[in-house]
């Protein structure tokens, strides 16, 4: 059984006694900085010169300084810049200002697992990875709840890295929902696998194919949209509440029988083999190399794929329909439709 822990298993004063730098103010950055601040932790936000996020952070009452200054004046540094820029920010502005006794924190193990960042001796390397989008990490905290977190220690130079990691996890509200002990390797490989095969990649492709098959057969795109995209949330909510079994309990017997006989026809054993191939590319670093090489070249492949995805007919139909559904609220003021 995985090692789990909750609010009572962590001492908030451990992180309240440190100075924390949150580097980046995006999805995770704003949530960590604001939740820690509201938990009584001494936080500053480190941003690059001219960052568009500066105003937003300052409007929330946070102090914003350069990345180098944030690291200099802190002893805990949480890196929440995008994974593909972390190694440059680290080399240029973080590493020169790190000291023995400091702790380097991550919300995803990518750069440590694939060797893009190597922390100096005497520095704790810790991960607190919320298992949910940053905007939920903030929203849940404000509502008195939390998003579950994974906690890992790669280097325990101080001998107290676990206490510090648990305290940080409590500070962002994660231990209200629960923390699970893991390793950088396990978190990185399973996170990449989950998002590529099931949560993001698998689901996006499944929904697009479903929409294509229905509309190519002459059905109305609006009907197709409801059947293969909109209702997905209702089904997933049931799964989260009570597993696949609760979902099957709630649907009609017709739907449940169709689930058993047609699900395995669509997602056949070859899909499992494909998943294994994806996992192997993650484990041996092939995916990381491809992602970073493309990013270093200015992200031509990434941008082309993003553009192509945004032009899929389901997006056009969806945009029109969501405009008519007053009960669907977009709570994220920063989100611009059509941007990934």
H-type alpha helices, the chain: 12-16, 27-38, 53-59, 67-72, 83-89, 110-113, 134-142, 161-171, 174-177, 184-193, 201-216, 221-225, 232-250, 253-266, 269-283, 286-296, 300-310, 313-324
Neighbouring residues of 183: CB distance < 8 A, sequence distance ≥ 6: 152, 154
> Does residue 191 belong to the site contacting Mg ion (CB under 5 A)?
yes
What is the number of the residue whose Cβ is closest to Mg ion? 191
For the bound state, the minimum distance from the C-beta of residue 108 to Mg ion, rounded and expressed in Å, comes to 5
- To the question of whether residue 174 is assigned a binding role by annotation, the answer is no
- To the question of whether residue 27 is assigned a binding role by annotation, the answer is yes
Which of 48, 63, 139, 246 is close enough to bind ligand NAD by CB under 6 A?
48
Which of 33, 34, 64, 107 is close enough to bind ligand NAD by CB under 6 A?
107
> Does residue 140 belong to the site contacting Mg ion (CB under 5 A)?
no
For the bound state, the minimum distance from the C-beta of residue 290 to ligand NAD, rounded and expressed in Å, comes to 17
Task: Please say if 108 is a catalytic residue.
Answer: yes
Query: Among ligand NAD, Mg ion, none, what does residue 134 contact (CB within 5–8 Å per kind)?
Result: ligand NAD
**Structure-block tokens of residue 84:** 């593909």
- To the question of whether residue 270 is assigned a binding role by annotation, the answer is no
**Structure-block tokens of residue 277:** 């191939």
For the bound state, the minimum distance from the C-beta of residue 194 to Mg ion, rounded and expressed in Å, comes to 6
Count CA within 13 A, CB hemisphere, residue 269. Answer: 0
CB nearer ligand NAD, residue 129 or residue 167: 129
Q: How far apart (Å, rounded) are the C-alpha atoms in residues 330 and 105?
A: 31
Question: 30, 108, 135, 230: which is the annotated catalytic residue?
Answer: 108
CB nearer ligand NAD, residue 89 or residue 103: 89
Query: Among ligand NAD, Mg ion, none, what does residue 130 contact (CB within 5–8 Å per kind)?
Result: ligand NAD
Rounded to whole angstroms, what are the CA distances from 86 to 16, 45, 155, 193, 310? 26, 15, 18, 21, 27
Q: How far apart (Å, rounded) are the C-alpha atoms in residues 256 and 247?
A: 9
Q: How far apart (Å, rounded) are the C-alpha atoms in residues 169 and 176?
A: 9
> Does residue 75 belong to the site contacting ligand NAD (CB under 6 A)?
no
Q: Which residue has the tokens 């001796």?
A: 121
Determine the size of the site formed for ligand NAD (CB under 6 A): 24
Active-site residue list: 108
Binding site for Mg ion (CB under 5 A): 191, 195
**Residues contributing to the site for ligand NAD (CB under 6 A):** 23-29, 47-48, 51, 53, 67, 80-83, 85, 89, 107-108, 129-130, 133-134
């Amino acid at each position: 059984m995985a090692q789990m822990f909750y609010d009572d298993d962590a001492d908030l004063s451990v992180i309240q006694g440190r100075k924390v730098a949150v580097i980046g103010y995006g999805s995770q950055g704003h949530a960590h900085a604001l939740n820690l601040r509201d938990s009584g932790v001494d936080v500053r936000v480190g941003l690059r010169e001219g960052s568009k996020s500066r105003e937003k952070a300052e409007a929330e009452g946070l102090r914003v300084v350069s990345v180098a200054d944030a690291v200099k004046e802190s002893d805990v540094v949480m890196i929440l810049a995008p994974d593909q820029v972390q190694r440059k920010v680290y080399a240029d502005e973080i590493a020169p200002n790190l000291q023995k006794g400091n702790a380097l924190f991550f919300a995803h193990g990518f750069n440590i697992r694939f060797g893009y960042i190597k922390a100096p001796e005497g520095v704790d390397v810790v991960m607190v990875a919320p298992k949910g989008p940053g905007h939920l990490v903030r929203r849940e905290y404000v509502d008195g709840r939390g998003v579950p977190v994974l906690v890992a220690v790669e280097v325990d130079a101080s001998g107290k890295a676990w206490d510090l990691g648990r305290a940080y996890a409590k500070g962002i509200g994660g231990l209200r929902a629960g923390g699970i002990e893991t390793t950088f390797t396990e978190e990185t490989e399973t996170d990449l696998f989950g998002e590529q095969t099931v949560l993001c990649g698998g689901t996006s492709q499944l929904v697009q194919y479903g929409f294509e098959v229905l509309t190519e057969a002459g059905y109305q795109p609006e009907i197709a949209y409801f059947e293969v995209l909109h209702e997905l949330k209702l089904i997933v909510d049931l799964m989260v509440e009570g597993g696949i079994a609760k979902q099957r309990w709630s649907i009609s017997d017709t739907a449940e029988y169709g689930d058993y006989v047609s699900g395995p026809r669509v997602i056949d054993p070859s899909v499992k083999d494909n998943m294994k191939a994806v996992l192997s590319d993650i484990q041996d670093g092939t995916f990381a190399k491809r992602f970073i090489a493309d990013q270093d070249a200015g992200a031509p492949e990434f941008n082309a794929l993003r553009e192509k995805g945004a032009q899929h007919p389901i997006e056009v139909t969806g945009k029109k329909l969501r405009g008519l559904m007053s009960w669907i609220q977009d709570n994220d003021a920063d989100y611009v439709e059509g941007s990934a």
